[in-house]
Amino acid sequence: MLGTFQQSHIRIEVEASAAVIGDSLLRPSLLSRWMWAQRFSPGMPEQLHSGLTFTNWVGAVPIQHHVEVAESNCLRLLLSQGIDGYHEWYWGESWVQSRLEGVSMLPLNLAQSVSLLSLREFLLKQKV
């Protein structure tokens, strides 16, 4: 894999319950609404589950995701193709944390920051 090893860990506060945050991360229909910069594979299930593999695209770059863990407070994705690494999400009442590590030519820290800000905005709109 071409690129550089990158890692980023970010935790933010959000005005949402753990259940609402979890739905926003585990339900592809909601996930695709706030991850607007990515296109997801057609035919996604209603909810992410362990063992599921899917692809999304950032522009022309495919990123394959293998769901290693999908629980009520965490999601762990193994990444390949455009990013070789993993992405972990943890959440609770009023907070969400993201840890991303991998080798890629994409600017992972920037992408992670934009994703978390987009999630925060999405959750604020859900509350209204």
How is the chain split into domains, by residue range? 4-127
The whole-model pTM stands at 0.92
**Pairing mode of beta strands 61-70, 74-81:** antiparallel
CB atoms within 10 A of CB 53: 12
Domain 4-127: give its CATH code.
3.30.530.20
pLDDT of amino acid 38: 84
Smallest CA-to-CA distance from 55 within 63, 44, 47 is with 63
Query: What does the radius of gyration of the chain's CA atoms come to, in whole angstroms?
Result: 14
8: its two tokens? 């980023």
Average pLDDT over residues 68-79: 97
Encode pLDDT of 75-120 as tens digits: 999 999 999 999 999 999 999 999 999 999 989 999 899 999 999 9
Encode pLDDT of 35-55 as tens digits: 877 888 888 999 999 999 999
